């Protein structure tokens, strides 16, 4: 947690105030909702996404404003809603080591809580008449939904190319981090070129982040996520796509057959993981991840040195160096 504390240091005051504002933005007249949202807030993660919002705003403006807090709240509400819905879709009983909402309160309530949080995120923007911020987050929600559906469609057909894989992770993961950074820029410099520059910066960070997540599936680190879970769920990730592209017809047929028909067979999944490693799939994915990281850092080169730039640089490096 030390690196995260370092990243957060220049915006510590803003983050503390944000947490107060965020808790208020989640309030409801229904006691059950408040009980569940209290449970969510007390098990919050690192809050990397709001940190992207504040660091971008402060890099560009030296200070934040009410619109920045609004943007950070919108992002965190939408992100939290998507996690609640993801746990229902994935039938997952744990989130960050704690019971998920659907595990404690069942699917119906979890879906409704997710819907409530989504609507709250949109209302925060509307109530403050921040229509430009609303536009950013609405595009992100659309892209996230399309990305998830595209991944499901391709998992059924297993006809995914490297290009399609990038489309999926761009929409599914990178689009929300892109929204964080463009939201931070837009809050202090609306209608400026920086809104697009930092959207791109966030997107590149998000691409690197997702490839790092895909690498965890091959047992590089102990993260609490079972090895081979993506293969079991028939998700075509970059190391696997690379191995497929390097394979002869016979091996390609064996790989596709393994993922389609033997993805629940632990021995077969281990064999697939070993084969992907043997074919250089992990090295290739790392190489691509570092390319996205370097492109993101290159965008920061145009800005003068500051504590905020240093924290954003640390954040980008943390995305690819993290152990979980």
Domain ranges of the chain: 3-209+305-321
Higher-pLDDT residue of 179, 23? 179
What residue spans of the chain are helical by DSSP H?
A: 2-8, 12-25, 31-41, 48-61, 66-89, 101-127, 131-157, 162-169, 175-188, 193-216, 229-232, 238-246, 249-261, 266-278, 281-300, 307-321
Q: What is the pLDDT of residue 209?
A: 94
Per-residue pLDDT reduced to its tens digit, 14-32 = 999 998 888 887 777 888 8
Rounded CA-CA distance 225/90 in Å is 13
In this prediction, residue 98 has a pLDDT band, given cuts at 50, 70 and 90, of: low
Contact 79, 176 (CB under 8 A): yes
What letter would DSSP give residue 226?
A: P
Q: What is the pLDDT of residue 223?
A: 39
Contact 51, 15 (CB under 8 A): yes
Contact 262, 268 (CB under 8 A): yes
Q: Which of 154-168, 212-226, 272-286 has the lowest mean pLDDT?
A: 212-226
Across the chain, which distance is largest between two alpha carbons, in Å?
61
In the CATH scheme, what is the code of domain 3-209+305-321? 1.10.600.10
What's the predicted TM-score (pTM) here? 0.89
Per-residue pLDDT reduced to its tens digit, 32-45 = 877 777 777 766 67
Q: What is the pLDDT of residue 135?
A: 94
């Amino acid at each position: 947690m030390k690196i995260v504390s370092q990243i957060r240091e220049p915006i510590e005051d803003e983050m503390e105030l944000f947490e107060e504002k965020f808790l208020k933005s989640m309030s409801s007249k229904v006691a059950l909702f408040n009980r569940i949202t209290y449970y969510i807030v007390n098990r919050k993660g690192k809050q990397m996404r709001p940190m992207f919002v504040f660091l971008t705003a402060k890099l560009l403006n030296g200070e934040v404003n009410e619109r920045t807090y609004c943007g950070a709240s919108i992002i965190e509400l939408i992100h939290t809603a998507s996690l609640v819905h993801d746990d229902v879709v994935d039938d997952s009983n744990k989130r960050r080591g704690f019971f998920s909402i659907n595990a404690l309160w069942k699917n119906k309530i979890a879906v409704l809580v997710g819907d409530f949080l989504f609507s709250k995120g949109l209302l925060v923007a509307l109530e403050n008449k921040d229509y430009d911020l609303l536009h950013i987050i609405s595009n992100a929600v659309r892209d996230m939904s399309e990305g998830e559906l595209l991944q499901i469609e391709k998992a059924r057909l297993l006809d995914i190319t490297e290009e399609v894989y990038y489309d999926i992770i761009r929409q599914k993961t990178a689009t929300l981090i892109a929204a964080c950074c463009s939201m931070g820029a837009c809050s202090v410099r609306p209608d400026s070129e920086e809104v697009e520059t930092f959207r791109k910066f966030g997107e590149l960070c998000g691409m690197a982040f997702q490839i790092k997540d895909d690498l965890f599936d091959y047992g590089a680190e102990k993260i609490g996520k079972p090895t081979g879970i993506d293969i079991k769920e028939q998700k075509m990730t970059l190391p696997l796509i690379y191995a497929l592209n390097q394979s002869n017809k016979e091996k390609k047929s064996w790989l596709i057959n393994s993922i389609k028909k033997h993805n629940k067979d632990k021995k077969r999944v281990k064999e697939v993981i070993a084969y992907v490693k043997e074919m250089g799939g992990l090295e290739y994915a790392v190489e691509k991840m570092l390319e996205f990281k370097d492109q993101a850092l290159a965008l920061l080169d145009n800005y003068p040195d500051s504590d905020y730039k240093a924290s954003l640089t640390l954040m980008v490096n943390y995305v690819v160096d993290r152990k979980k």
